[in-house]
Amino acid sequence: MTAEMQIDGRPVGAADLGHFVQSNYGAFTSMQVEDGGARGLDLHLARLEAEAVDLFGVAVPEALLRERMHQALDGRSGRFSLRVNLFSDAISLRAPDAVVQPRVLTTLSPAAAPLTTPLRLQTQVYAREAPHLKHAATFGLTRARRQAVQAGFDDALFIDAEGRVSEGSIWNIGFIQGETVVWPEAPMLAGTGQALLERGLVGHGLSSVTRPVHLSDLSTFDAAFICNSATPVCAVAAIEDHAFPTSEAVVARLTDVWRSNPRQKI
Fold of the CATH domain 119-261: D-amino Acid Aminotransferase; Chain A, domain 2 (3.20.10)
Q: Report whether pLDDT(18) > 90.
A: no
208-230 confidence digits (pLDDT tens): 999 999 999 999 999 999 999 99
Q: Please answer whether residues 91 and 115 qualify as being in contact, where contact means their C-beta atoms are separated by less than 8 angstroms.
A: no
Q: Please answer whether residues 8 and 68 qualify as being in contact, where contact means their C-beta atoms are separated by less than 8 angstroms.
A: yes
Enumerate the domain spans of the chain: 4-110, 119-261
174-194 confidence digits (pLDDT tens): 999 999 999 999 999 999 999
What is the Cα–Cα distance from 143 to 185, expressed in whole angstroms?
24
61-77 confidence digits (pLDDT tens): 999 999 999 999 999 99
What is the Cα–Cα distance from 171 to 174, expressed in whole angstroms?
10
Q: Is 95 exposed, middle or buried (0-12, 13-18, 19+ CB in 10 A)?
A: exposed
148 pLDDT tier (thresholds 50, 70, 90): very high
**What was the pLDDT predicted at 13?**
85
DSSP class of residue 164? B
DSSP class of residue 17? G
Q: Answer whether 0.85 is exceeded by the pTM.
A: yes
Domain 4-110 matching CATH 3.40.30.10: the answer reads no
Dihedral class, residue 265 (left if φ above 0, else alpha if ψ from -120 to 50, else beta): beta
Q: Is 33 exposed, middle or buried (0-12, 13-18, 19+ CB in 10 A)?
A: buried
Q: What is the DSSP annotation of 173-233?
A: EEEEETTEEEEE-SS----HHHHHHHHHSGGGT-EEEEE--BGGGGGG-SEEEEE-SS-S-
% of the chain at pLDDT higher than 90: 95
Q: Report whether pLDDT(237) > 90.
A: yes
**What was the pLDDT predicted at 92?**
92
Q: Where are the alpha helices (DSSP H) in 96-186?
A: 139-150
Q: Please answer whether residues 22 and 30 qualify as being in contact, where contact means their C-beta atoms are separated by less than 8 angstroms.
A: no
